[in-house]
Structure 1
Amino acid sequence: MNTILVVGYKNFEVGIFSKQDPRLTIIKKAIERDLKRLFEEGVQWLIFTGNLGFEAWVLEVAIDLKKDYDFKMATIFLFENVGENWNEANREILARFKQVDFVKYAYPHYTNPGQLKEYNQFLVDNADGGYIFYDPENETNLNYLYKMMAEKDPFYVKRLSFDDLNDLAENFYEN
């Protein structure tokens, strides 16, 4: 397993609007645990799509882990104009996605609804696995990409769920 696609809930989909939200401590602990395992299993690349929320939190943790692990990161944005209407704080996050080892844009701009399907197919076809923060019981538009990952064989999927986070939180606060 060489290349892992990182996708998951956006911050507003899980109700996290502040860097000081206490849930982020648990989420980042889970991300750190999972990334360390992936790197120890030989993962060389993390591929991002540049979304706020889970991807940005993984990017933040991954940047911290660069001192201990040898891996690279790429961001493949859907459109070149991503983030043009974002606020300043979100543009700072976008800038971090652009400071990785490899950056590309799938399309210059939106022209038709088929672009998203083609983009998702390209991402899945060019990764060995996925790291996804998603729970099918809390469905979002990630459902389509999650199903694509699950149907590709062979394709490793490491899914972070709300149950995983609850278990980690219980252990975290007990210790």
Structure 2
Amino acid sequence: MRSRLMTILCVLGSTIILSGCEINNAQEDHVSASITKTTPAPVIDTQVTTDKNTKPSPKSRPKDDPIYPPAEQVIAWHANQCGGFKVTPVKQVYLGEKELKSFFKFMCLNTSNDPNTVMTKLLKLDLAYFWPDDIKQYLWLQKQQVTMQINAKKEQQALNNKMQETLSSLATIEQQLLLREETKE
């Protein structure tokens, strides 16, 4: 869509510039002819300059705009990669399909074990394409889920550390109590 808009703007701009040049050249010819009616004005070949501007570009333009998958298809791929959902095969090839499927497979296997790596891959995937809004929103939801997983893992680690400290303190207290009992006897 953006490339189409840029192409239209370029064509309109060049048309305005070329038509302005032709009008100016015609006015200059008319003015110079009226000033010097006895001597003919030299003929300027403008055909050469306009031919260069009207020739097609050597770059081939893509025939169609890229087609992104609909959000329903993206969700179906995610559910399929995590298991338990069958996806009906689609003949249409979508932009980013392979990347989305491989990311969802990686995400399903590694979210609980290594959410930081999943988040890194998710951020790269999010920036890889100009996703439509519905897919952007779905990826945003996935970011929120992975962020919650990262925070839960941090909280679990903090809780484990606190529990280790408590167990260590309890072991120290137990040793002190055993020493007191031995000294009393």
TM score, norm. by length of structure 1: 0.27
Higher RCO structure (Cα 8 Å, ≥6 apart): 1
Q: Which structure has more strand as a fraction of its residues?
A: 1
- Bigger radius of gyration: 2
TM score, norm. by length of structure 2: 0.26
